[in-house]
Structure 1
Amino acid sequence: MIYRLLTADDTSAFCHKVSEALAKGWELYGSPSYAYDSQNNVMRCAQAVVKHEHAPYSPDLKLGQQ
């Protein structure tokens, strides 16, 4: 299994990022998280996703291309 944490400002772009990962076979892992970024005055979102891969893990793996 491989793991990714998607993060972005709380905009529709974040939803599209998560939707794209789901379309590529990633699965939601846990609930989304939200936090206020006081330095940039925005809400930030995070969502963990996982994918079941049968190939050996390598730190060189490009997770966004999976």
Structure 2
Amino acid sequence: MKLYRFLSAPDDNTFCHKVTAALNKGWHLFGSPTYAYDKKTKTMRCGQAVVKDVDGQEYGPDTKLSDW
């Protein structure tokens, strides 16, 4: 199965740690990172899509992406 996640966090080390943790679990960057202003919190936020191939497993709506 091919998995997709979109990671987001405030523009601080939280974002970098979240992406680094995903990369160390075998996820791969997909596309360019994003950067946007959050009007509600009045802060900048970062985002990055990541993908992962998992052999021998089938995807279902109950698949918990963060477990992979």
In the superposition, the TM-score normalised over structure 1's length comes to: 0.95
Tell me what 1:57 maps to: 59
Cα RMSD for the two superposed structures? 0.7
In the superposition, the TM-score normalised over structure 2's length comes to: 0.92
Identical positions, percent: 55
More strand by share: 2
Q: Which runs of 4+ in 1 moved over 3 A?
A: none
Alignment of 1:13 with 2:30, yes or no, is no
Tell me what 2:26 maps to: 25
Structure 2 unmatched ranges of 5 or more = none
Aligned length: 66
